[in-house]
Amino acid sequence: MQFIVKYKLTLIGVLLGAIAGYMYYSYIGCASGTCAITSKPLNSTLYGALMGGLLLNSFKKDK
């Protein structure tokens, strides 16, 4: 439980990034299938989760 409280902002970023990554795949995606990130939903979702976690982690204040 302490882990969730401590990394709450990062976990929210991961969740929102994963949703955004999957939405990017489903609405924009890659028509030819040769794009490394957007050709498969798993790749796009994981990349979005990583970017969302990193983005919101940058706003975390250190004590």
Would you say residue 38 lies in a domain?
A: yes
CB 37 within 8 A of CB 44: yes
Would you say residue 3 lies in a domain?
A: no
Would you say residue 16 lies in a domain?
A: yes
pTM: 0.87
Could you list the residue range(s) of the whole structural domain that residue 38 is in?
A: 9-57
Looking at residue 60, its pLDDT comes to 84
Would you say residue 44 lies in a domain?
A: yes
pLDDT digits 0-9 by tens, 20-30: 999 999 999 88
The total number of structural domains that make up the chain? 1
The Cα-based distances of 13 to 7, 24, 42, 47 in angstroms read 10, 16, 17, 12
Would you say residue 25 lies in a domain?
A: yes
